[in-house]
Amino acid sequence: LISEAELLSALCQHSKNHPIHDVARGLESYFGGLIDSLALKLRLVSAEMYQALYTPAVVQATARLRALLDARQASLAKEHAKLNERLAIYRDAGSEFQEIASAYARVLKETDHIRQDIARLVIYSAWKRMSVKFEATVTAPVNIAVIKYWGKRDSALILPTNSSLSVTLSQDHLSTRTTIRASPDFAKDRLWLNGVEEDIAASKRLVNSITTARKLRADFEQKLLSDGAPAETVVPLSQWSLHVCSENNFPTAAGLASSASGYAALVSALGALFDLPQSTSDLSRVARVGSGSACRSMFGGFVAWQAGISNDGHDSFAVQVADRLHWPELQALILVASDKKKAISSTAGMQTTVETSELFVERVRSVVPKRMEAMQRAITDRDFATFAEITMRDSNQFHAVCLDTYPPISYMNDISRSIVGLIHAFNAARGRVAAAYTYDAGPNAVIYALKDDMRDLVELFTYCFPRDESTPKEAFYPDAFAIFDSADQVGQRLTRPEVAQLAETAGKFPAGSVCRIIHTEVGDGPRVLAASESLLDDAGLPKHTQQ
Ligand code: DP6
C-alpha cells in the first residue's frame, strides 16, 4: 500500500504546519478512498499523536500507526486474495459468459426480427383477407336414369319410394356451372340462375340445401376450434351470406334434368367453398334435399340412388356402381323434341302417382328391386342388350304408371312415340338390341347405344327429323364425335342399306320436330374449376346478366 518512508515524510510535513486532525485528514485524502475505514482509526489515535508529536515519543506513535496500517494491509491482502479467488472463478467462466452474452444478443436480435416478421405477417394477412375471395366454382353433370325414380315417401326430405340407377353424361356437352362466394360484406343470400335473380327464400329446396350445407360447415368450424386450431385460421364462413351464380349450357326445364345438375353443382360448390370433410355419398344427401335425382349427379359413371328405409333419410344416398372408364364405348344421343317448359313438374306428377296409381304399387314392390339387381349386373358385365332392354322396359313402365295416374299424366308426344317405334325397327333391322330409348318427365328422347352403332343412328335421326331452317347447322347437331365429314352431310347421308330402307319407311317428319340433337358419352362427376372460371365479378355480382 504505502512505504513507511512515504508515510513518515507525509506525517512530518503535515505536522509541521497543521494541527493533528488536519494531518489525519491529509492522510485520508492522500490515501484516497482506499483507507476509508483507516481514517476512522486515525481519528481515534489523533489525540495521542497530537501529544506525541510534541514529545520525543514520536517513534512510538508512528510505530503504533504502523501497526494499524500493517493490520489493515494484512486484512486488505486477505480481501484481495479472496477477490482474486472470486475473480478467478469469473475468469474461468469467461468463455461461458462470452457465449451466454453472444447468445443473449442473438436472441434479442432474433426476437426483434420475429417481431418485425409478425408485424409484416399481420399486415400481409389483413391484406390477403381484403383481397382473397372465399369462393368456389364448379361444374356438375346431367344424369339420365335407366331405372326411374318416381314417387316420394317423404316430400320434405325427398325420400324416394324406390331405388333408381342412372348414367352420368359428359359435362363437355351438358353441365351446370355454379360459383358461390361467401363474404361478411354481403347483406343476404342471393342467387342468379342464367343471369336472372331468383328469390331463394321462395324455394324451400334451395333454403334446405343451403341450410344443411351451412350446418355442416358450422359443425366443422366448431370441430377445428375444439381440436385447437387458432381462431384466426378458422374463417367463420358459416356465418357469412352467400352469392350464388349458376348457368346451364343447355335449355333449363326442357326435360334435360337441369334440376339434377343444378343442385349437384350447388352442393359441390358449397362443399368446395366450405372445405367440408364429408364424403361424396354424404354430400349426395344434401343434393337430394334439393332435388331427388340431383344426388346421382354427384358421381360420374354409373350411379345408384339407394332408396333407404329410415325416416330421417340417413340411408338414402347415391353410390357409384362403376366409373366412366368402365364402359367407354357407351354413348348417348339426346333428341330435344321441345325446348318449351314441361307442363306438369315431376314433383307434382309423382305426388299424384303415389296417391292414385295401383300399377305404381306393383312397380315399387316387385319390379324395381329385381331390375336394380339385373341392371347392376348388366353394367358390371358391359352387357348392352340386357342394359338396353331393362332401360326401355323401365321407361315404358314409368310412362305407363303416369298414364295410370288419375287424372293421367302424359309426358311423351307424337315425336317421342315415333322415336320409340324407330328404335324398335332399328333393333329389328340389326337383328340385335343395338339401341335403347328412355324418356323422363318430358318428350325428349335419350338414346343409349355403343359407339360403333352411333353413326347409323345419327344418320337415321338427322334424316327423319330434319333441321328447321332457322336453327344453325352447328346448333342442330354439333358433331362432337366427327360422324360426318362436313356439316353439309348432316341429314343427307345414309351409309348402310338397311338403315336407308328404315329411313325411307319412316319418312321425313316436319322440319324442326326435333329441334336439336346432342351427341354425348358417359362422363365424370362434378369438377372444381379455377378461380378464373368464376361467374361473379369483383363486387360479387353476375358477370353475365339477362334483363
Ligand atoms: C323422371 O329429381 O326432378 O327424371 O325430387 O321432386 O326434384 P324432385 O324430382 P326430380 O325427378 C326426376 C324424375 C325422373 C326420373 C329420374 O331421373 O330418375
Q: Quick: pLDDT tens for 102-117.
A: 666 766 666 665 666 5
Q: Evaluate if residue 444 carries a pLDDT over 90.
A: yes
Q: Atom of ligand 1 at shortest distance to CA of 294?
A: 2
Nearest CA owner, ligand 1 atom 1: 440
Confidence check: pLDDT of 402 > 50: yes
CA-nearest residue, atom 4 of ligand 1 = 440
Q: What is the pLDDT of residue 229?
A: 83
- Most confident region among 40-54, 248-262, 349-363, 468-482 by mean pLDDT: 349-363
Sheet with 516-521: list strands edge to edge. Answer: 435-438, 445-450, 330-336, 516-521
Q: pLDDT band for 122, please (50, 70, 90 cuts).
A: low
Centroid of ligand 1 to alpha carbon of 343 (angstroms):
14
Ligand 1 pocket test target in 144, 351, 440 with most atoms within 8 Å of CB: 440
Q: Does the structure show a pLDDT above 70 at 154?
A: yes
pLDDT at 374: 98
Q: What is the predicted pLDDT for the residue at 233?
A: 77
Query: Which ligand 1 atom is nearest residue 259's CA?
Result: 3
- How high is the mean pLDDT of the chain? 86
Among 147, 148, 149, 289, the mutation site with the greatest number of ligand 1 atoms within 8 A of its Cβ is 149
Cα(374)–Cα(321) distance, integer angstroms = 13
Ligand 1 surroundings by CB, under 6 angstroms: 145, 148-150, 158, 164, 257, 259, 291-293, 346-347, 440-441
Distance CA 398, CA 439 (A): 9
Q: Write out the three cell numbers for 276.
A: 367440408
3-state helix, strand, coil split of the chain in percent (to 5) is: 55, 15, 30
Of 34-38, 133-137, 427-431, 533-537, give the lowest mean pLDDT range: 34-38
Please, what's the b/e burial string for 87-118 (b: 16 or more CB within 10 A of its CB; e: otherwise)?
A: eeeeeeeeeeeeeeeeeeeeeeeeeeeeeeee
- Dist. CA 42 → ligand 1 center (Å): 117
Q: Kindly state the helix (H) or strand (E) to which residue 361 belongs, with its residue range.
A: helix 358-362
What is the rounded average pLDDT of the residues 292-301? 98
473-502: average pLDDT: 94
Distance 292 CA to ligand 1 centre (A): 6
d(CA 266, CA 128): 26
Whether residue 412 contacts residue 399, with contact meaning beta carbons closer than 8 Å, is answered with yes
Exposed, middle or buried, 237 (CB in 10 Å: 0-12/13-18/19+)?
A: buried
In tens, the pLDDT along 166-204 reads 999 999 999 999 999 999 889 999 999 999 999 999 999
| 6-31 pLDDT, tens digit each | 665 666 555 555 555 565 556 556 65
Cell of 202: 321462395
